[in-house]
Amino acid sequence: MTPLQVSGGATQDHLIHFGETYPMRRAGQPAELASIDVQLAANDASYTTGNIYGAGGGGGQP
């Protein structure tokens, strides 16, 4: 969830309630998702290919 969502067409009301339907009752914050990017960018992730990393807020995989 970032301020860019509002500039991308989402209404302010939508932003206020964004994430309420997720199991954790809130949207994920960038700092909570950054560890996935760091893992994929790390040298020791070279064995990881074609995997799906889910960040579903407790909702499971799609």
Do the domain assignments include residue 57?
no
In tens digits, the chain (62 residues) has pLDDT values of 555 565 667 777 877 888 888 888 888 888 888 888 888 888 888 887 777 777 777 777 65
Spatial separation of the C-alpha atoms in residues 61 and 55, rounded to whole Å: 8
In which domain, by residue range, is 23 found? 4-45
Do the domain assignments include residue 14?
yes
Q: What is the pLDDT of residue 8?
A: 67
Q: What is the pLDDT of residue 4?
A: 55
Do the domain assignments include residue 51?
no
Do the domain assignments include residue 35?
yes
Total count of domains within the chain: 1
Chain centre distance of CA 23? 14
Q: What angle is formed at CA 53 by the lines to CA 27 and CA 7, rounded to 5 degrees? A: 40
